[in-house]
Structure 1
Amino acid sequence: MEGAALIWTRPEPGSRRPKFTRDQIASTALTIADTEGFAAVSMRRVASELGAGTMTLYYYVRTKDELVALMDDAIMAEVLIPGDEFPAHWYDALTAVALSTWDVLMRHPWALHSLQNAPHGPNAMRHFEQSLAAIADTGLDAPEKFALLGLVDDYVRGNVLRSAEVGVAPDDKEFEAAERFVESQFATGQFPHTQALFAGEDRQEVFHRLVGDTSERDRFRHGLSVLLAGVATTMNLDLPDR
């Protein structure tokens, strides 16, 4: 994305009352991606949704890469936690950052793949600053802080990816083919533990029983609490009083 980051160094078009703002353009592009997928986002389509000509949009955003940069920064703006709501304890602060990130990515799961090469903008920097602020008083050194943030980030993104994959239901023919394949593999006798887990029952019913009625968000939060409790033990950090 050569040159895409330059959009952050340029002021917005300098007319006294510009017809569009970068925020409006980014919001329009995000709506298209959320409803139709990232592949539907183009300069022409965004311009059409805004009621403008494509060449008019180029006055505000020079390239598709710059549009992608604006989309990424708009998503990062959603992640930010208001300063007056930022918890003081590292555990609570890091939990708040992780939950906010998870909530936003679950609203825009396509972003994990489609925006992964977008240049970091001002809101991405603010998010990283908040993440560092969350663990500023832990006494960890810089490499330990970086490792901790990476650990939490990996958990957040991995959970969103898994949730997105689970949410895509196969059609009937694909499901039937998958069922036949699983049964043929069970018949080989090479998967005794997996076979015992299902014990001849309907696999969807078993999965539902294993997961229960807990929401995706609550399961994410429970896993996060287990992760951070382990971090506290491993890194000798205090946990908040409850």
Structure 2
Amino acid sequence: MARPRKPLLSRALIVDTACALVDAEGLAALSTRRLAAELGVSGPSLYNHFRTKDQILEAVADSVSARVDLSMFEDGRDWRTALHDWAVSYRAALTEHPNVVPLLAHGPGRRPSALRLADAVFGAMVDAGWPAAQATSIGALMRYFVMGSALGSFAGGFVDDETAYDPADYPHLGQAHLLAERQQKIDERAFETGLTALLDGLTRQYEDMTSRAV
């Protein structure tokens, strides 16, 4: 039988399959044996591309970081607009893959896409006039906020049973059972509210800083 023209496996195929498995069942579901079964290959064949499961997980995490748009830091947008648009893109990538967020929370390590992301944010803030130490803090602050918003749903934490919240115990939750069905809209509005508040605060700091420098 002639050899196939294309290899049965590639790094991209392994990463995409691993990501889909983590999305569907969580990080605990991923093992090299399970992944090989999903791909229809023998376990040892994975080691031609990745030496360990941890390397696969690192690649999965970096593939999510690679989905974040960074063009706003290169096309002339002011720092506040760029930071807002980046945060929206960042959250969109994470909310598509919430089970990967705990991996990303450990920091960029040596992951190329994650490092490019950190470099872009820090560089844009320094170029806008923020001191390096403050630019670092801004990057960390935004990362905490975006990741926290992607880890779970506030609205999704309420059940849609109107009898679940007795007004005798929770006098202000009479409409809480309606939150679950409006989950996406409520969570997006909460994210934008928090993001605007953060950026308003940073803008005041920036204006104070620049006025002192004059």
Asked whether the two chains share a fold, i.e. TM above 0.5, the reply is: yes
Q: How big is each residue's C-alpha offset from its partner over 1:17-39, in whole Å with a ceiling of 9 and x where there is no partner? A: 65432222111100111122222
Matched, 1:222 2:193: yes
Matched, 1:144 2:134: yes
TM-score (norm 2): 0.78
Matched, 1:134 2:124: yes
Q: In structure 2, give the amino acid aligned to 1:227.
A: L
> What residue ranges of structure 2 are gaps of 5+ in the alignment?
none
C-alpha deviation, 1:88, in angstroms: 2.4
C-alpha deviation, 1:81, in angstroms: 2.8
Q: Partner of 1:53 in structure 2?
A: 42
TM-score (norm 1): 0.70
Matched, 1:72 2:45: no
CA spacing shift, 1:166–1:111, aligned 2, 3 Å: farther
Q: Partner of 2:150 in structure 1?
A: 160
C-alpha deviation, 1:146, in angstroms: 0.8
Q: Partner of 1:109 in structure 2?
A: 98
C-alpha deviation, 1:141, in angstroms: 0.8
Q: Partner of 1:120 in structure 2?
A: 110
Matched, 1:88 2:77: yes
Q: In structure 2, give the amino acid aligned to 1:140.
A: W
Q: In structure 2, give the amino acid aligned to 1:233.
A: R
CA spacing shift, 1:150–1:213, aligned 2, 3 Å: closer
Structure 2 distance, partners of 1:87, 1:167, is 38
CA spacing shift, 1:155–1:17, aligned 2, 3 Å: same
Q: In structure 2, give the amino acid aligned to 1:204.
A: H
C-alpha deviation, 1:136, in angstroms: 3.2
SS at match of 1:135: helix
CA spacing shift, 1:223–1:86, aligned 2, 3 Å: farther
C-alpha deviation, 1:168, in angstroms: 5.2
Q: In structure 1, give the amino acid aligned to 2:119.
A: E
CA spacing shift, 1:157–1:86, aligned 2, 3 Å: farther
- Check whether the contact 1:38–1:114 (CA below 8 A) recurs between aligned residues: no
Structure 2 distance, partners of 1:43, 1:148, is 38
The root-mean-square deviation of aligned C-alpha atoms, in Å, is: 3.3
SS at match of 1:120: coil
C-alpha deviation, 1:130, in angstroms: 1.6
SS at match of 1:62: coil
- Check whether the contact 1:80–1:126 (CA below 8 A) recurs between aligned residues: no
Aligned residues: 203
- Check whether the contact 2:23–2:97 (CA below 8 A) recurs between aligned residues: yes
- Check whether the contact 1:33–1:41 (CA below 8 A) recurs between aligned residues: yes
Q: In structure 2, give the amino acid aligned to 1:96.
A: D
Structure 2 distance, partners of 1:68, 1:212, is 29
Q: How big is each residue's C-alpha offset from its partner over 1:39-60, in whole Å with a ceiling of 9 and x where there is no partner? A: 2211122222222111111121
Q: In structure 1, give the amino acid aligned to 2:90.
A: T
C-alpha deviation, 1:226, in angstroms: 2.2
Q: Partner of 1:5 in structure 2?
A: none
Q: Partner of 1:233 in structure 2?
A: 204
Q: Partner of 1:9 in structure 2?
A: none
